[in-house]
Structure formats: structure tokens, C-alpha cells
Amino acid sequence: MAVPTFVDRVVLHVAAGRGGNGVASVHREKFKPLGGPDGGNGGPGGSVILRVDPDVTTLIDYHHNAKRKAGHGGHGAGGHRNGGHGEDVVLPVPDGTVVTDESGELIADLVGAGTELVIAEGGRGGLGNAALASAKRKAPGFALLGEPGEERTISLELKVVADVGLVGFPSAGKSSLIAAVSRARPKIADYPFTTLVPNLGVVQAGDTTFTVADVPGLIEGASEGRGLGHDFLRHIERCAALVHVVDLATMEPGRNPLEDLDVIERELARYGGLEDRPRLVALNKVDLPDGREMAEMVREEVATRGWPVIAVSAVTHEGLRELSFAMAQVVAAARRERVVAKAERIVLRPKSRHSSEEFTVRETGEGWRVRGEKPERWIRQTDFSNDEAVGFLADRLNRLGVEAKLLELGAVEGDPVLIGDPDNAVVFDFKPGLDAGGAEMLGRRGEDQRFTESRPAADRRKAIAEAMPERAETETRADVARRLDRGDEDAEGER
């Protein structure tokens, strides 16, 4: 299988690093066994960053390796030692790379050397118990967990940044023209579709230096997928000017220079977005028999369209100096009008999935579902094996107003409350009035006496789970639940 050397479109999966966990630690020394909390914070996870590198001209590296992952943050330690920062992954991309998400929505258009985009941000590190200590909670027996880093699938699409784009039928001489006016050495042969990738050349005319690119494979129907034009038309979107390279010596029946020009213009119009580009027309191959006569026949007709016309020969270099200066003049005019944007580091801030409110509560068939950036982040930070950490979460949710909102909407004690992503939500039993007011717990470290009481909803779910293996074949989970409820009612009636 042939290995591609030019790749201009890839799908890439990126994953940022997870933040390190904070640690719960107490300073101890001789004759001072409880010297106060000294647990350090976890380090932030590494981010995945796209950076424009002028030396990179293709996306081939990501064609072979389509998954990139940053380093995780280090965990905190005792003695107020914070975890290390996870290693960032910097991915060099060519100038002119367009970044889109899975739905095709534009994320960024990376133009300009050094421009950066943080495409996946590393997770924040969890706070240690030293950072969680306060005047009322002097010795927390818990710490917060680090947050997971962002994961996303993106598409990278290269749109070559060139000043002038050469368009025309296959074998019109575009590659020969680039080789004649610059030091580029594209593949040249006497058969169609010799050029399979865009070629770039640097041209100097007087004090102006500019780049020229050709678009391979333009034929009638290219905008609809025929030939290679559908894949490469996007490479001329950034060009300041377009040069029609017209073949004066085509031997194909039914073709002539004017018809070729009209066909290419129709394809450009169908592709769209190129109407404002200045046009130049290069009548190529005047050195061949009848070439000069053909040029004189079509020159006046083309000139009526308002486009400069130059007869050239890529072989004898006739007219190339005039063409180079004509292109330089258009490029210089475009640069004078262009506002030069300073390269900057772009930090991606995806659109929030939540409303402008801090949280929302709605009733569902599973219970009361709480959504919001803060509640969901707090859930990710909580160590549910530590009752004191769960109590701290309950206090935070209460201060945010979640409990008051649930009571306002009609929630009663024991109702299930779901917080977090719908596919992996954490379920609580609603227990109003659990606010500790920031007071320190007097029980064993890591325990919260508020959570030693019975939990009806949890007990009910446990009973249903235990009865499921013994259910009849026709019984569903809901049938089992109803049967257990009837049994409880009968037992209550007997009492």
C-alpha cells in the first residue's frame, strides 16, 4: 500500500491529563502529634495544544497516529507539598489549519506562525486538607479529588496559505509555470492529473515576495466531486488573486481556450466564496505551433471581461517576467488592505451545556435531576468513600441553594436526587436540613455523623436489587418494586 506524503484532512482524538488528587495529612512531630493539617494540593493535568509551525506543511503525522494524550498531574503529599503539573502536549500544525468539532462546527482557524489553541484543557488538581481548613473546620479529614481532563474528537483541515492560486484544466501547464517562476520542482509529465497535491512556490518580483500555489485536477464538475478539484478547491480560499492558466494547444475535441475559461469559472462560482478575488489570465504554450495565433484570437475576448491577459511560455520563459510583476502588483495591493492580526494564544472555552443559571432542577421518572457546572464539578471532586467529604459536598450544595430549590419544587425526604452527567449520575436520598454550617465534625476522622441515619430510598433500591434474581420470568423491575411495596403495607396492617 502506498504511503501518502501529503495529508490535508485528518480526524484526531485528544485527551488532556487528569488533575492530581489532594491529600489529607496532619503534621506530626515529637511532643506535637496533632500539628494541624498539612496536606498538599494535586497538580493540574497537562493540556493538548495546537501550535502553528511554519516548518510543517502537512498533517501526515496525525494520519499515522490519530490519538494524542497529555500527562496527568501529580498527587499532593504531606508537608504542604503540591503535586507536579502534568506535561502538556504541543502538536505542530501547518499555517492555515481549520479546526472543527464532531458536528462540523468551527472551533478555530489557525493562521499566523506561533498561534496557539488549547484544544483540550487539563483537569484541575484537587485541594488538600490544608487548603480546605478554616476557622470553623480546623482539621478536615478529607481532601478533594482531581478533575478529569477534557477529551474530544476534532477534525483538522489544511487550507494552504498562498498569495496567488493557479487554476486550470489538467495539463494546462500550472506545474511547469510554478517551476519556471520559482525554485519549486513539482512533478511534470505529459499526461493529465500528474499533480496530485497542491504545489507551492516562492516568487520574487521587484521588492515583493509572494507564494504561488496550483490546484490540481480541476475539470467540469469538480465542485461536485469529479476529478480532484473537490478535494483541493479549498486550498485557494485564502489566495489574494487567481490566475487562469489557459492551454492554447489542447488537442481534446470540443475544447477551446474560451470554453475552458468558462468551465473553470463555473466551477469556482459553484464552490462559492471566490467572487471578490482579482483574476489574471495566462495564455500558456505560445511557443508551440499556432499557439501565438490562438493567443491573439482570444486575447480581445478575454480582455472584455476586465481581466489582464498575458501570453506566456513556461518553456521559453516568454512573458513570465510580466506575469510575475502583474501578480506582485495584485498581492501588494491586497496586503495594503489587509489588517495584520497579531499571533496570540487562544484558550478554548467550549459553549456551556447549562443555562445562564448556576444550576437547574427538574423532576424526571428517576427522581430529581440537578444540572449545573458547579454541582457537577463538585461531584467529580468528591471522594464518596469518605463521609466527611460527602458532608462537605452537602454543605456546598446547600449554600448554592439546591436544597431550597428542591423544597420549593415539592421534593420530600427520601426522594432520589441525581447530580452529574445523565450517563453516570450520582444518586442521593434527599435529606433536608443537613447543613453543618461549616462546623467541625467531632466523630472519627473521615466520618460525618449526619450520614449514620437510615436512608429509605437507598434501602428500597437495595431490597429491589436483592429480590431481582428470584423474580418470575414475566416480572419486570417495576413489578418487583410493587410487590415489595405491597408486602410492606401488609406487614404494617398486621401491626
Q: Summarize the confidence of residues 347-376 as an average pLDDT.
A: 75
Is the pLDDT reported for residue 189 higher than 50? no
CA-nearest of 385, 383, 384, 388 to 445 is 388
Q: Which CATH class is domain 1-158?
A: mainly beta
CA-nearest of 320, 395, 400, 410 to 362 is 410
Is 170 labelled a binding residue? yes
Q: How far apart are CA 216 and CA 54, in angstroms?
A: 23
Segments of the chain assigned to CATH 2.70.210.12? 1-158
Is 215 labelled a binding residue? yes
Segments of the chain assigned to CATH 3.40.50.300? 164-337
Is 56 labelled a binding residue? no
Q: How far apart are CA 305 and CA 316, in angstroms?
A: 28
Q: What is the pLDDT of residue 455?
A: 59
Which residues share a beta bridge with 346? 117
Cβ atoms 186, 179 nearer than 8 A: yes
pTM of the model: 0.67
Quick: pLDDT tens for 245-282: 888 877 676 678 888 888 888 888 887 778 888 889 98
CA-nearest of 451, 353, 444 to 393 is 451
Segments of the chain assigned to CATH 3.30.300.350? 360-453
CA angle in degrees (0–180, nearest 5) for 350-356-362: 110
Q: How many residues does the chain have?
A: 495
**208 or 452: which leads in pLDDT:** 208
Question: Other C-beta atoms within 10 Å of 1: how many?
Answer: 3
Is 196 labelled a binding residue? yes
C-alpha cell of residue 319 = 512573458
Q: Using the structure block, give the residue that is written with the C-alpha cell 440537578.
A: 370
Is 193 labelled a binding residue? yes
**78 or 195: which leads in pLDDT:** 78
Q: What is 164-337's CATH superfamily?
A: P-loop containing nucleotide triphosphate hydrolases (3.40.50.300)
Is the pLDDT reported for residue 87 higher than 60? yes
Is 284 labelled a binding residue? yes
CA angle in degrees (0–180, nearest 5) for 254-260-263: 105
Quick: pLDDT tens for 203-225: 888 888 888 888 775 555 444 44
Quick: pLDDT tens for 131-171: 998 888 888 889 999 999 999 999 998 877 778 888 888 77
Is 182 labelled a binding residue? no
427 phi/psi in degrees, rounded to 5: -105, 130
Cβ atoms 200, 56 nearer than 8 A: no
Is 355 labelled a binding residue? no
Is the pLDDT reported for residue 73 higher than 80? yes
Q: How far apart are CA 130 and CA 22, in angstroms?
A: 9
Is the pLDDT reported for residue 447 higher than 50? yes
Query: At the topology level of CATH, where does 360-453 sit?
Result: GMP Synthetase; Chain A, domain 3 (3.30.300)
Is 223 labelled a binding residue? no
Is 298 labelled a binding residue? no
